[in-house]
Amino acid sequence: MIDLEKLTPERKKVWDKVNQMMDVSYGCAESFVAAVGEYLWGEVDDPIQMISTGFSGGVGGTHEELCGGISGAAIILGLLYGRTTNDEALMIRCKRLISEQRNRFVQQFGTTICQELRDAEFGADEQNPCSAMIAPAAFMLLDILEEEQERERVAAASAPDEAEGVNVLPFDEYVSKHQDDPMPALLEELERPEITHEYRNWIGELIDEKGDDREGVGLHPDGQLPLISWLSVPAGEVEVERAGKFPVDSFLIAKYPITRIQFQAFLDAQDGFQNPDWWKGLAVESDQIQPAAEQRFDYNNHPRDNVSWYDAVAFCRWLTAKYLTRDDLEENPVLSHDKWEIRLPTEWEWQMAATGGDPENKFPWGPDWDENKAHTKHNQLNKSMAVGMYPAGKSPVGALDMSGNIWEWCLNCYEDPARLDLSRPDRRVLRGGSWYHWGSYAHNTMRSRYFPDHRYNAGGFRVVCARAIP
């Protein structure tokens, strides 16, 4: 039981807010989140749902009551003073700390303790012990936050000469300092390894708002054709997991996944998505083509999500045709190389670009995992991010986001990798991991798959310019 007389004013405010929310919810995690949304804003919207589902990942593998109680605690702390940029940053920080301090929460709030809290607070007939955990878990999370802040203060005080080079600013101060910076200054910030994930996300969204003019992210000056930044990939040989070795000819690969604004050019073009020519020979007939799905995370410089394999193949055919009719494009690779086309990469081409041909490179940057070089579930942002926010995570050929951010469709079938027939309805390969999955899914040899008509918000693609597939 909590001794209310011993609570500090800050913790008494948390206690009161928890009880206000519990009065209009049923005690379980989902209804508690719904009550927060309705109480504060009169509705439950997508950001609130994303927030609620993100916390359980930090304590995954335990039990529902523990996840629900800690989720509620972190939501209360993040939303206590209203919905502002700083509060969202606090929620992100809470999620990271929950993930890092998982064992402390499990030890403090195991199954037996959950039941004891329930019985003491509500009686043995209460069905959801997570409700009794929310305030105690919030106080424990406050302790952890205070510990981290104290470490930051000590570090800053012990090395004042390094304070400018080490990012110890709270998020709102960081925003205030950099929100008027020109784009080159913001991009230079990304080169600093100490910049956190939430800061990188904010930079990506700000440069999108300003107009992201990085080459390879947007469109040609005419505003009608995607501008691809091409990178050279050497020839060699790649061993695909459980599939054998495959020779690789030299080719070109896009520096970034296809972005929302680039795919939108295909959707907007009169001869684009609706043109049946781009769908010929696929296992889906032109009259069976489903309307294009909406972008889940609607920023122009984010990778285009909710794209099926069919959608991606059609985009590549359209873009190839456009390049073949344009001789005004600098270094036009389709015109410069005989019998080349723009298409999806085979997975051995994708793997060659990710590793640079060195099998020791388990990740694009080297043999060892580093969660500060990729956008995965470790970041606990629960959304995609602008492309290219992790320059330190680039592959040996210079390709960015090959680990995390968005799964990328490959050309070949999954069960029989050597089969490249576009007319087959077989499951197709996805590579690279995403914001939705842990780093263990984001290594260079990880093979995932979906049926070619599948669209989901963690799936997109990047293109190559290479020898045409017969």
Res. 229: pLDDT tops 90:
yes
CA-based R_g, the chain, Å: 25
Topology (CATH level 3) of domain 230-467: paralog of FGE (formylglycine-generating enzyme) (3.90.1580)
pLDDT tens digits, one per residue of 290-328: 888 899 888 999 999 999 999 999 999 999 999 998 888
Which string of b and e fits 356-390 if b means at least 16 CB within 10 Å? bbeeebbbbbeeebebebbbbbbbbbbbbbbbbbb
Total H helices, total E strands in the chain: 15, 10
Q: How many CA atoms, within 13 angstroms, populate the side-chain half-sphere of residue 169?
A: 15
pLDDT at 381: 82
* Residue whose C-alpha is closest to residue 257's, from 406, 441, 156: 406
Dump the DSSP string for 47-61.
HHHHHHHHHGGGGTT
> Which residue has better confidence, 249 or 121?
249
DSSP letter (8 states) at residue 219: B
pLDDT tens digits, one per residue of 156-213: 777 655 444 444 477 778 888 899 999 999 999 999 888 888 899 999 999 999 999 9
Scan for tokens 């913001």, then name that residue: 186
**93 CB-near residues (< 8 Å, 6+ apart):** 145, 171, 198
Res. 43: pLDDT tops 60:
no
Res. 344: pLDDT tops 60:
yes
The average pLDDT across 363-378 equals 91
pLDDT tens digits, one per residue of 390-419: 999 999 999 999 999 999 999 999 999 999
Res. 146: pLDDT tops 60:
yes
Q: How many CA atoms, within 13 angstroms, populate the side-chain half-sphere of residue 13?
A: 9
pLDDT at 6: 81
Under 8 Å between Cβ of 269 and 321: no
SS3 428: strand
Give the sign of the dihedral formed by CA 308, CA 292, CA 407, CA 231: positive
Q: Where do the H-state alpha helices sit in 24-178?
A: 29-41, 46-55, 64-79, 85-100, 102-108, 111-121, 130-158, 171-178
**326 CB-near residues (< 8 Å, 6+ apart):** 225, 332
Q: What percent of the chain has pLDDT over 90?
A: 45
Q: How far is CA 66 from the centre of its chain?
A: 25
Mean pLDDT of the residues in the chain = 80
> Which residue has better confidence, 458 or 96?
458
Quote the crossing angle between the two packed helices 64-79 and 130-158, to the nearest 10°: 60
SS3 12: helix
Q: Where do the H-state alpha helices sit in 269-428?
A: 309-324, 333-336, 347-355
pLDDT at 402: 97
Helix (H) or strand (E) holding 245: strand 244-248
Domain-wise residue ranges, the chain: 4-154, 230-467
The average pLDDT across 74-93 equals 52
3-state helix, strand, coil split of the chain in percent (to 5) is 45, 10, 45
pLDDT at 75: 57
